[in-house]
Chain A
């Protein structure tokens, strides 16, 4: 994660690297624009035994193209300035989602993907509301931010587990494949974080950051509500 931070720092000092970074960032979006998940499923279901690279790729792809996870991460690091804090919070998030990803798939925990994704949407709302100091100012309560990021990490992990469970996984090499998927998720998260940090670090140097931070978190909260509503509609109607 320090590498991701350094990468963001480097890019913020070298404007030309932005162009390359932008193209790299656009790549997964372009790739996912054409829905290939059905092909992915067919490919994965053909696998019988350990397959490290395909599952790592799928994990990374899910993270890099998973805007719910990315919005939450953006909220988490929005006001984190020190590399140590970023590392700590991201580690707590990683720990949380790794626990439920592994146990969720291995114990065949059956949770509804829409409900979990709705909770993940609410995690974005929570973080944005906390960023504008809503809990303290409006409700006069304050949650421990570290505990919260860990607990929401657990829910994000359950979401990841439901995605992996959608594939008819072979029990052959299951542990290797889940671990590979998990490592892929972390790699994807590091890549995504690098880009989020890149933009944040650039932005923080400008005056507009302080002026627009409140509005940005209001937008983030809106996005969280939209995600939640979208998933609840899916739960009710699909």
Chain B
């Protein structure tokens, strides 16, 4: 093998080695949670992108089910929220007999008085989905009927919350939930 070929082969080997090093120490830990050398942990980039989707996430709170109905007269509103720890989730479905204004939001524990983070806002007559709490606190819906007819809203949820709170007409009604007391 002549000198030039040797130089090229060396370049190819260097390229493969450098690529393997970059992949193993940086990209695989950051993108795929695969960290054979512990470099991802050491650099704090392990699981950075979270691109390996978590199909299963274990929850340490008891499983709950809840169903509730509200009747809103024109220009009445109600808030209904669940106490969820960070990363706890629930699955929800609500249907209304007419379009209502809604806002799905959360209030972090220990946050400033009246502070809420909005996650979803709109005007519809239904909502289906899953919700995973980005922080510990109370999370749920504000509904308002801005129409001219009374609207009935039916909400069904299941998930890993510890309490449900209803805010209506200036009153707060907290309902503690555990498996022994089935929700209405």
Q: Does B8 contact A (CB under 8 A)?
A: yes
Q: Does B2 contact A (CB under 8 A)?
A: yes
Inter-chain contact B12/A134, CB cutoff 8 Å: yes
* CA A225 to CA B31, docked complex, whole Å: 16
- Distance (Å) between the CB of A74 and the closest chain B CB? 15
- Distance (Å) between the CB of A133 and the closest chain B CB? 7
Given contacts A137-B5, A222-B19, A237-B52, contact A230 B12 (CB under 8 A): no
Neighbouring B residues of A133 by C-beta, 8 Å: 4, 8
Residue in chain A with minimal CB distance to B27: A230
* CA A234 to CA B5, docked complex, whole Å: 34
Q: Does B20 contact A (CB under 8 A)?
A: yes
Given contacts A137-B4, A218-B15, A237-B52, contact A229 B9 (CB under 8 A): no
Inter-chain contact B19/A225, CB cutoff 8 Å: yes
Inter-chain contact B23/A229, CB cutoff 8 Å: yes
Residue in chain A with minimal CB distance to B11: A218
Per-residue CB proximity of A197-238 to B under 8 Å, as 1/0? 000000000000000001001110111111011100110011
Given contacts A137-B4, A138-B5, contact A222 B15 (CB under 8 A): yes
Give the dominant DSSP class at B's interface.
helix
- Distance (Å) between the CB of B96 and the closest chain A CB? 23
Give the dominant DSSP class at A's interface.
helix
Instruction: Give the number of chain B interface residues (Cβ < 8 Å).
Output: 25
Per-residue CB proximity of B9-41 to A under 8 Å, as 1/0? 101101110111011000110011010000000
Query: CB < 8 Å: which of B9, B14, B19, B34 contacts A233?
Result: B34
Q: Does B51 contact A (CB under 8 A)?
A: yes
Query: CB < 8 Å: which of A134, A224, A230 contacts B31?
Result: A230
Inter-chain contact A221/B27, CB cutoff 8 Å: no
* CA A30 to CA B80, docked complex, whole Å: 39
Q: Does A129 contact B (CB under 8 A)?
A: yes
Inter-chain contact A129/B23, CB cutoff 8 Å: no
Residue in chain A with minimal CB distance to B2: A137
Query: CB < 8 Å: which of A128, A129, A237 contacts B32?
Result: A237
Residue in chain A with minimal CB distance to B53: A238
Which residues of B, 51-84, contact A by the 8 Å Cβ criterion?
Answer: 51-53
- Distance (Å) between the CB of A122 and the closest chain B CB? 12
Q: Does A151 contact B (CB under 8 A)?
A: no
* CA A238 to CA B28, docked complex, whole Å: 12
Q: Does A132 contact B (CB under 8 A)?
A: yes
* CA A19 to CA B19, docked complex, whole Å: 32
Inter-chain contact A233/B28, CB cutoff 8 Å: yes
Inter-chain contact A237/B34, CB cutoff 8 Å: yes
Inter-chain contact B8/A138, CB cutoff 8 Å: yes
Given contacts A237-B34, A237-B52, contact A221 B15 (CB under 8 A): yes
Of B12, B27, B28, B32, most A-chain CB atoms within 10 Å = B12
Knowing that A138-B8, A226-B23 touch, tell me 14 more A-B residue pairs with CB under 8 angstroms. A134-B8, A134-B12, A138-B1, A138-B5, A138-B9, A222-B14, A222-B19, A223-B19, A225-B19, A225-B20, A233-B32, A237-B32, A237-B52, A238-B52
Kindly list the 4 A-B residue pairs having the minimum CB-CB distance in the complex, ordered from nearest.
Answer: A225-B19, A221-B15, A222-B15, A229-B23
9 A/B residue pairs, CB under 8 Å, sorted by A = A128-B15, A137-B8, A219-B15, A222-B19, A222-B22, A223-B19, A225-B15, A233-B23, A233-B34
Task: Please report A residues at the B interface, Cβ cutoff 8 Å.
Answer: 125, 128-129, 132-134, 137-138, 214, 217-219, 221-226, 228-230, 233-234, 237-238
